[in-house]
């Protein structure tokens, strides 16, 4: 197996794992209890198998959306877009700025 084949296989496994995290999946858990018998040997006393659902992972969903369609799904807006939404206060005099600051809602 060449290095390129190994990289492709790793890539495919990473994609499959991401898809599982985005969709959610069923998980099988086995809890085994052991005991020591009269001869000092360890043996299985009981084994409980449970199945549970792992819900979709929000971080995996965000990662996938921002990487597949970054123009529509961004964790943070671009700095220039945020600046465009802010009012231009450069033409206001000091008294007007002070009045604006005094009346600005406190958070």
Determine the distance from the C-alpha atom of residue 38 to the mean position of all C-alpha atoms in its chain, rounded to a whole number: 50
Mean pLDDT of 82-89: 68
Q: How confident is the model at residue 83 (pLDDT cuts 50, 70, 90)?
A: low
Q: Percentage of residues in the chain with pLDDT exceeding 90?
A: 45
For residue 44, what pLDDT is reported? 93
Residue 29's closest CA among 54, 51, 47, 55?
A: 51
Structure tokens at 78: 């671009």
The 10s digit of each residue's pLDDT in 24-66 is: 999 999 999 999 998 889 999 999 999 999 999 999 999 999 8
3-state secondary structure 18-77: HHHHHHCEEEEEEEEEEEECCCCCEEEEEEEEEEEEECCCHHHHHHHHHHHCCCCCCCCC
Is pTM beyond 0.75 here? no
């Amino acid at each position: 197996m060449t290095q390129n084949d190994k990289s492709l296989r790793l890539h495919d496994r990473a994609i499959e794992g991401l898809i599982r995290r985005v969709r959610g999946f069923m998980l099988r858990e086995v809890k085994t209890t052991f005991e020591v018998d009269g001869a000092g040997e360890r043996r299985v006393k009981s084994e409980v198998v449970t199945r549970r659902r792992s819900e979709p992972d929000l971080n995996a969903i965000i990662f996938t959306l921002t990487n597949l369609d970054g123009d529509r799904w961004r964790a943070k807006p671009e700095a220039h877009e945020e600046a465009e939404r802010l009012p231009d206060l450069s033409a206001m005099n000091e008294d007007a700025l002070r009045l604006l600051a005094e009346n600005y809602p406190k958070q």
